[in-house]
Chains A and B, each alone.
Chain A
Amino acid sequence: MQLVVQNLAKLYDDKRGLAPTSFKVDKGELIAIVGHNGAGKSTLLKMLASWIVPDDGTVMVDGIDLKNRMALAGKVGFIPEDPNLFEFFSVEYNLKLFARLSRTPMSRVEKILDEFKLLAFRRSKVQTLSKGLKQRVNIGRALLADPALLILDEPTSGLDFEMTREIYLLLQSMHAAGKTIIFTSHRPEEIKSLATRIMVLHKSKLIFDGAPHEYFQSDIHDELYSL
Chain B
Amino acid sequence: MMRNVFILAFNDLAFAFKNKTFLLVLFIPLFVFVTLNFVDETGEDTSKVRIGLLAQETLTPEVSESINAAETYIELTRLTSSEEGVRLLQERELDGVITSSEDASGSLVLLVLKRDSIQTLAIMQTFAALQKTAQGAAPDWISGIDSLHQGGIQRETLPTWVLMLVLLIGFVILPAQVAEEKEKKLLLGLLQTPINEVQWLLAKLILGMTLILTAVLFLHLLGKFGLVHLFDYMALLLAGSFCFSAFGIFLGFLCRTQASARTLGVIFYLPHLLPSAMSDVSEKFTAVAPLLPSYQLYKPLQSILLESASLADMTFDWIYLIVLGSMMCLFSYVLMKKRWLM
By a beta-carbon cutoff of 8 Å, the part of chain A in contact with chain B is 49-53, 69-70, 73-74, 76-78, 80, 82, 84-87, 98, 101-103, 142, 145
Whether the Cβ atoms of B185 and A77 lie closer than 8 Å is no
Q: Of A51, A86, A87, A98, which contacts B193 at CB under 8 A? A: A98
| Size bin of chain B's contact surface | 10 to 19
A-B contact pairs, 19 of them (CB 8 A): A49-B192, A51-B339, A51-B342, A53-B337, A53-B339, A69-B196, A70-B196, A73-B193, A73-B194, A74-B194, A78-B192, A80-B185, A82-B185, A84-B186, A84-B188, A85-B186, A101-B190, A102-B193, A142-B192
Q: Which residues between 148 and 200 of chain B lie within 8 Å of chain A, taking CB atoms?
A: 184-186, 188-196
Interchain nearest-CB distance for A114 vs B (Å): 22
Q: Looking across the interface, which residue of chain A has its beta carbon closest to that of B184?
A: A84
Collect the chain B residues with CB atoms within 8 Å of residue A78's CB. 192
Q: Looking across the interface, which residue of chain A has its beta carbon closest to that of B196?
A: A70
A84, B180: Cα distance in complex, Å: 11
A131, B337: Cα distance in complex, Å: 31
Q: Looking across the interface, which residue of chain B has its beta carbon closest to that of A80?
A: B185
Collect the chain A residues with CB atoms within 8 Å of residue B192's CB. 49, 73, 76-78, 142
Q: Looking across the interface, which residue of chain B has its beta carbon closest to that of A81?
A: B185
A84, B338: Cα distance in complex, Å: 20
Whether the Cβ atoms of A101 and B193 lie closer than 8 Å is yes
Q: Of B184, B185, B194, B342, which contacts A102 at CB under 8 A? A: B194
Whether the Cβ atoms of B195 and A101 lie closer than 8 Å is yes
A73, B189: Cα distance in complex, Å: 11
Interchain nearest-CB distance for B37 vs A (Å): 40
Whether the Cβ atoms of A52 and B193 lie closer than 8 Å is no
Chain B 14-49 interface mask (CB, 8 Å, partner A; 1/0): 000000000000000000000000000000000000
Interchain nearest-CB distance for A72 vs B (Å): 9
Whether the Cβ atoms of A84 and B185 lie closer than 8 Å is yes
Collect the chain A residues with CB atoms within 8 Å of residue B190's CB. 101
Chain A interface, >50% SS class? loop
**Known contacts A85-B189, A101-B190, then 7 further A-B pairs from the complex at CB < 8 Å, ordered by chain A residue:** A51-B185, A53-B337, A74-B193, A84-B185, A84-B188, A101-B194, A102-B194
Q: Which residues between 253 and 274 of chain B lie within 8 Å of chain A, taking CB atoms?
A: none
Collect the chain A residues with CB atoms within 8 Å of residue B188's CB. 51, 80, 84
Interchain nearest-CB distance for A59 vs B (Å): 15
Collect the chain B residues with CB atoms within 8 Å of residue A103's CB. 194
A51, B338: Cα distance in complex, Å: 10
A80, B186: Cα distance in complex, Å: 11
Whether the Cβ atoms of A70 and B194 lie closer than 8 Å is yes
Chain B 301-342 interface mask (CB, 8 Å, partner A; 1/0): 000000000000000000000000000000000000111001
Interchain nearest-CB distance for B80 vs A (Å): 62
Collect the chain B residues with CB atoms within 8 Å of residue A80's CB. 185, 188-189
Collect the chain A residues with CB atoms within 8 Å of residue B185's CB. 51, 80, 82, 84
Collect the chain B residues with CB atoms within 8 Å of residue A86's CB. 186
Q: Which 7 A-B pairs rank lowest in CB-CB distance, beginning with the nearest? A: A84-B185, A101-B193, A73-B194, A84-B189, A102-B193, A51-B188, A53-B339
Interchain nearest-CB distance for B181 vs A (Å): 10
A85, B190: Cα distance in complex, Å: 10
Collect the chain B residues with CB atoms within 8 Å of residue A85's CB. 186, 189
Q: Looking across the interface, which residue of chain A has its beta carbon closest to that of B337?
A: A53
Collect the chain A residues with CB atoms within 8 Å of residue B195's CB. 101
A9, B322: Cα distance in complex, Å: 40
Interchain nearest-CB distance for A170 vs B (Å): 19
Q: Looking across the interface, which residue of chain B has its beta carbon closest to that of A50?
A: B191
A136, B196: Cα distance in complex, Å: 26
A103, B193: Cα distance in complex, Å: 9
A86, B185: Cα distance in complex, Å: 10
Collect the chain B residues with CB atoms within 8 Å of residue A142's CB. 192
Q: Of A52, A70, A74, which contacts B339 at CB under 8 A? A: A52
Q: Which of B185, B192, B194 has the most CB of A within 10 A?
A: B192
A74, B194: Cα distance in complex, Å: 7
Q: Looking across the interface, which residue of chain A has its beta carbon closest to that of B199?
A: A101
Collect the chain B residues with CB atoms within 8 Å of residue A52's CB. 339
Q: Looking across the interface, which residue of chain A has its beta carbon closest to that of B186?
A: A84
Collect the chain A residues with CB atoms within 8 Å of residue B337's CB. 53
A103, B196: Cα distance in complex, Å: 14
Q: Which residues between 183 and 235 of chain B lie within 8 Å of chain A, taking CB atoms?
A: 184-186, 188-196
